[in-house]
């Protein structure tokens, strides 16, 4: 019985090698590195910074407030313009006498608190104890809640 194994390469070459001669995985025998490079890795051209969207300059020149410019830069000008268009179309957004939009938005912290409360209710619905809920809050949100606070959150109607 022969101890040779057929080995195929990416270049469609086939050769016979003594079984175990090449090693497996990280146990490859030391051999000279090929001079051809990684082949499939040659399509990686490196990291390229995208140029700043010139429409940000237009928004700045027309007098958009700096925080709105930061939002436009963060989410992208197209998404910002779509959001702006949607808010402008809304009938239930208050306006000044000159037509300026008066936007009111709760702080982001209220969204985080709402998600935390949903998490607490879900844990309680699965039968978690107050101690388990407290541990989960400490692990996921790095906060400490009393048993009374947890009970109030669970009993609060949404």
* pLDDT tens per residue across span 33-42: 556 555 555 5
Phi, psi (deg, nearest 5) at residue 6: -85, 125
Residue 19 lies in a domain: no
Measured CA to CA, the distance from residue 152 to residue 149 in angstroms comes to 5
41, part of any domain: no
Give the pLDDT score at 112.
95
- The tokens of 2 are what? 């022969």
pLDDT at 121: 96
Q: Please say if the pLDDT value at position 59 is more than 70.
A: yes
Mean pLDDT across the stretch 34-52? 65
CA–CA dist 122, 137 (Å, integer): 12
Bigger pLDDT: 56 or 36? 56
Please indicate, yes or no, whether residues 63 and 101 belong to a single structural domain of this protein: yes
Q: Are residues 118 and 92 in the same domain?
A: no
pLDDT > 80? residue 136: yes
In a domain, 114, yes or no: yes
pLDDT attached to residue 49? 75
Taken in order 55, 61, 63, 68, the sign of the CA dihedral is positive
pLDDT of residue 69: 97
pLDDT for res 157: 72
Residue 119 lies in a domain: yes
Same domain, 74 and 115: no
Is the distance from CB of 154 to CB of 146 less than 8 angstroms?
no
Q: What is the mean pLDDT of residues 40-64?
A: 82
Which helix or strand (DSSP H or E) is residue 17 part of?
strand 14-18
Per mean pLDDT, which range of 18-32, 43-57, 88-102, 107-121 is the poorest?
18-32
98 with 117, same domain?
no
* Domain-located, residue 5: no
Sign of CA dihedral 7, 13, 15, 17: negative
Q: Total domain count for the chain?
A: 2
Above 90 in pLDDT, residue 110? Answer: yes
Place of tokens 């949903």: 118
- Give 155's DSSP letter: H
Instruction: Please tell me whether residues 88 and 57 are part of one structural domain.
Output: yes
- 57: containing domain: 52-105
Residue among 68, 45, 46, 44 nearest 56 (CA): 68
* 82 within some domain: yes
The fraction of the chain above a pLDDT of 70, given in percent, is 69
Q: Taking all residues of the chain, what is their mean pLDDT, rounded to a whole number?
A: 84
Looking at residue 32, what is its pLDDT? 61
Residues forming beta bridges with residue 5, ordered by sequence position: 17
Give the separation between CA 158 and CA 155, rounded to whole angstroms. Answer: 9
Q: Are residues 56 and 67 in the same domain?
A: yes
* Residue 9 domain-assigned (yes or no): no
17 found inside a domain: no
Name which residue leads in pLDDT, 89 or 49.
89
Q: Are residues 79 and 119 in the same domain?
A: no
Same domain, 87 and 70: yes
**Do 92 and 122 have their domain in common?**
no
Same domain, yes or no: 88 and 69:
yes
């Amino acid at each position: 019985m022969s101890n040779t194994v057929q080995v195929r390469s990416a270049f469609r070459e086939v050769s016979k090698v003594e079984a175990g001669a090449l090693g497996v995985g990280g146990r490859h025998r030391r051999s000279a590195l090929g001079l051809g490079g990684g082949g499939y890795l040659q399509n990686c051209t490196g990291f390229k910074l995208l140029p700043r969207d010139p429409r940000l300059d237009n928004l700045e020149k027309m007098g958009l407030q700096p925080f709105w410019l930061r939002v436009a830069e963060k989410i992208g000008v197209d998404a910002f313009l779509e959001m702006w268009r949607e808010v402008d179309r809304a009938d239930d957004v208050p306006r000044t006498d000159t037509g300026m939009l008066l936007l009111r938005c709760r702080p982001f912290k209220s969204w985080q608190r709402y998600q935390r409360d949903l998490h607490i209710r879900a844990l309680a619905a699965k039968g978690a104890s107050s101690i388990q809920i407290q541990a989960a809050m400490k692990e996921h949100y790095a906060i400490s809640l009393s048993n009374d606070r947890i009970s109030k959150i669970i009993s609060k109607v949404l």
